Amino acid sequence: MKYVAVFASSASLANFRLPEFQFVAATLRVPITFLDDKIPWVAGGADTFWFSVFESPASRSELKALAERCALLRGVYTLFETAPTLEDLYACLEERHGSAAGSAGPSLASFPTTAATAFVGEDETTHLTSSTYSYQVETIGKKYSADAKRAVAEAVLKRVPRAGEVEWRQPGRAYYIFLQHAVENAPPGAQGWVSNGPLLRVFHCRLCVESSRSALLATYDLRKRPYIGTTSMPPEESLMMVNMSGVCRGHYVYDPFCGTGSLLIAAAHYGARTFGSDADGRAMRAGTEKGKTSPQMQQQRRLALAAYTEEQLCVLTEEERVLPNMITNFKLYCLPPPDRARMNFSAWPRTWHACALRLGSGGIFDSIITDPPYGLREPRKRVLLDLVMFAATYLVVGGHLTFWHPTTDHYTDDELPSHPSLRIVCNIAQRVSLKVVRRLIVLRKVAPVPIPPPSRESCAATKSPDDLRVDVGSGSDGSNRRGRKQSRPDGQDKIVANRQRNIELRAAKQAASHLANASHKTVGHSRPMETELASGRLGARDGLLGAALLSNPAANAEDEQNEETCQVLIPPNMSMGADDEEVCGVCLEPPPAGCFVELWCCGNILCVADAQQLGKCPFCREEPLVWNITKMVVIKGGGQTYAVGNGRQMEWDEVPESFKKKVAEQKEMEKCMDLRAKAQRCISDQGFWAPDCVHLTEAFHLCQSHELTRTELTQRKEAE
């Protein structure tokens, strides 16, 4: 029988409609033969992604399973006639069924199935199986009035056999007339303009099976999902990616950059077992501290939970209702939760080495579906090569690797890595912005990895993709204005204004908060640091400070808190003398000379001794389980000034002029401080450590052998 597939999706996914339909048909083994090439007005012209004519001997149950699986399909309709214009459709109907007077036309056997002005499908007289029917006229590209639609329906009814009564609510036979017009762009400055493009194609058909697209998108709507992130994949794209990967019930699906687990939810919906990993363990749990306390995210969580009944929410605990996590989404959707692991995917050769030894030439995963980092906010790395090499090793033969590749309009196939075991079966572009175009790449594993396996150099891409980070030029020389603005140090006026603002904000809440928060204690690490180093969870960068961390157990804290917590810093643009008029936010006393820190979360000032005893920030309630020093630290004393940070130690000649100016203004402070005393306060055994700063480790050992307590420092100042 001949059918027409009617698609529906967002405009950005128009190019994926027909490929998804083809992939799902291949996955479910539904035989389909497309007839678009035989119909000029269907295959040619503009906007050809709304309809597709095909022929299939499949039963209605098989077509129903096909339609319910597709996320970009509206439904499958039994095709009667299609023509480029309404006049051609009317002429075809009169020739098949007779004129309006009721004279019989030629039989279907004598009528050609293809003509220059019409294409004939199934015989409508064989579908008169119900006593009620309805006719609906739907348009694309142009708005029709109700009277115009009624006129088209009546013109068709005069030329086709009718049996039964009209029923609009629940008809036994639902007939449709689809009219597609060319979309025209509005002229500049036109108000109230209505598109009036020419008619491209007309379809006369009957509904066979309807898709479950609307129900799927309503169920997995991100607005109804309690736990989401800034990069959570929408359900339309997620379901489409899973369909393009050929996921079936019982398949094992892996997402190496799972984040909040949107792709894993789509895979679990179709019965797959899921496994997700991410370098940031917080995303796989309840998110960052900023996301937990954000008013916008709190409102989103309340609105999402309000969309469910109390019976549906009974599967959640009280903690999950207040602070949802990734598993909360799976519970609400009644899906099996995924296996999860905090893992840096760039280290996969070491992490998965034991699995490779056990598997040999076999694979683990049936599909790898992921959305890797795009490089918009951070430099791009060789993620694609790692993905291809990993998929070639751990995919089963016949498995699929599906991922988004961010690029530009200047894309070429040389940007993609290659492997002898993988073959590209899909490469479709989707525009994200004026500059960024991402392409959905689907690779199928067609053979095991050859012996000896290919090297990374032989599989690497021959062309580097374009840098997606936007460079804003300034002037005729095209210099990077944004980069120069970010690297420009703050002026003294701005520093003073920021401090004054912090003082005013702190005065209103200081009296009520400092007593309650002074009693908080630092929470210890739930896992010994020796276990972290032995298991390889600390990367090569963290290993540089391994000795210092192992000798400093008090500095250990939850690994997910090491990046975006309330950081206790001594910024380079901050005065370090006792001349400041600021007071400690806990003890309300001026701090000793140089013995104070500025909280990175809110900019308030605390004594070092008081800050080391707190478990939370007294002002914004952030929990600094590990206090990081990630900015440049100025160490003054001994007649010279050093800036330790950014992985090296700077000499006096390398210090910026803004720092030299501060040295001239703080000569009194330099008399009472030396290099070792300053380093002892910055990197003491009370919980400070600094990633990416190798020389800070040396200063740490230096301070252990030459300790200066707070009391000794105060006595030295009083003596001077």
Q: What is the pLDDT of residue 688?
A: 38
Residue 157 Cα distances to 63, 124, 163, 270, 621, angstroms: 28, 12, 11, 42, 72
pLDDT at 160: 83
pLDDT at 532: 34
3-class SS string, 649-702: EECHHHCCHHHHHHHHHCHHHHHCCCHHHHHHHHCCCCCEECCCCHHHHHHHHH
Q: Alpha-carbon distance 81 to 119, whole Å? A: 6
Beta strands in 99-251 (DSSP E): 119-120, 132-140, 165-166, 173-181, 199-210
Displacement of CA 74 from its chain's centroid (Å): 26
DSSP 114: B
DSSP codes, 243-296: HHTT--TT-EEEETT-TTTHHHHHHHHTT-EEEEEES-TTTTTT--HHHHH-HH
For 489-582, strand residue ranges (E) read 568-569
- What class, spelled out in words, does domain 2-185+196-212 have in CATH? alpha beta
- H or E element in which residue 69 lies: helix 60-69
Residue 433's pLDDT is what? Answer: 86
In the 8-state DSSP scheme, what is residue 454? P
CB 256 within 8 A of CB 368: yes
Residues 676 and 84: their CA atoms lie apart, in Å, by 86
> How confident is the model at residue 512, as a pLDDT?
58
pLDDT reported for residue 569: 30
* Tokens standing for residue 643: 């800036």
Report DSSP state, residue 559. G
Given a contact cutoff of 8 angstroms between Cβ atoms, the answer to whether 153 and 86 are in contact is no
The pair of structure tokens assigned to 418 is 């290659």
How many Cβ atoms are within 10 Å of 127's Cβ, its own excluded?
15
Check residue 219 and give its pLDDT: 93
Quick check: 619 and 585 in contact, CB under 8 A?
yes
For the chain, which residues make up each domain, given as ranges? 2-185+196-212, 233-285+334-459, 492-719
State the pLDDT at residue 514: 54
Residues paired with residue 252 on neighbouring β-strands, in sequence order: 273
Task: Kindly give, in sequence order, each residue whose CB lies less than 8 Å from that of residue 81, ignoring residues fewer than 6 positions away.
Answer: 89, 92, 93, 96, 118, 119, 120, 121, 203, 204
Task: State the residue for tokens 């997995």.
Answer: 220
d(CA 128, CA 160): 11
Q: Which CATH architecture has domain 233-285+334-459?
A: 3-Layer(aba) Sandwich (3.40)
Backbone φ and ψ of 688, nearest 5°:
-100, 140
pLDDT value at residue 165: 78
- The pLDDT of residue 186 is 64
Distances (CA, A) of 614 to 376, 520, 568, 603, 622: 37, 5, 11, 16, 11
Distance CA 106, CA 655 (A): 95
DSSP assignment of 16-62: GHHHHHHHHHHHHT---EE-GGG-HHHHSSS-TTSEEEEE----HHH
Q: Is 646 left (phi over 0), alpha (psi -120 to 50) or beta?
A: left
- Please return the burial class of 417, using the count of CB atoms within 10 Å of its CB with bins 0-12, 13-18 and 19+: buried
Distance CA 112, CA 597 (A): 87
* Residue partners of 87: CB distance under 8 A and separation at least 6: none
Q: Report how far residue 226's alpha carbon sits from residue 301's, in angstroms, rounded to the nearest whole number.
A: 5
Question: What local confidence, expressed as pLDDT, does residue 221 receive?
Answer: 93
Query: Contact, 603 vs 497, CB < 8 A?
Result: no
Q: Please tell me whether the overall predicted TM-score, pTM, comes out greater than 0.95 for this model.
A: no
Query: CA of 555: how far to CAs of 282, 437, 542, 637, in Å?
Result: 20, 44, 14, 27
Beta-carbon contacts of 638 under 8 Å, excluding residues fewer than 6 positions away, are: 674, 675
Cβ neighbors of 414 (< 8 A, separation 6 or more) are: 461, 462, 463
pLDDT of residue 119: 84
Nearest to 284 by CA among 209, 337, 349: 337
| CB 122 within 8 Å of CB 134 | no
> What pLDDT was estimated at residue 603?
57
For the CA atoms of the chain, what is the radius of gyration?
34
What number of CA atoms fall less than 13 Å from residue 267's CA on the CB side? 32
Per run of 10 residues, the mean pLDDT along the chain (length 720 residues) is 92 93 95 90 80 93 94 94 91 76 42 60 71 87 90 88 74 87 74 77 92 93 90 94 94 93 95 91 78 81 89 89 90 92 84 69 88 74 87 93 92 92 94 90 93 90 79 48 56 74 73 51 33 33 30 35 31 34 61 54 61 63 41 37 39 58 54 48 42 40 46 60
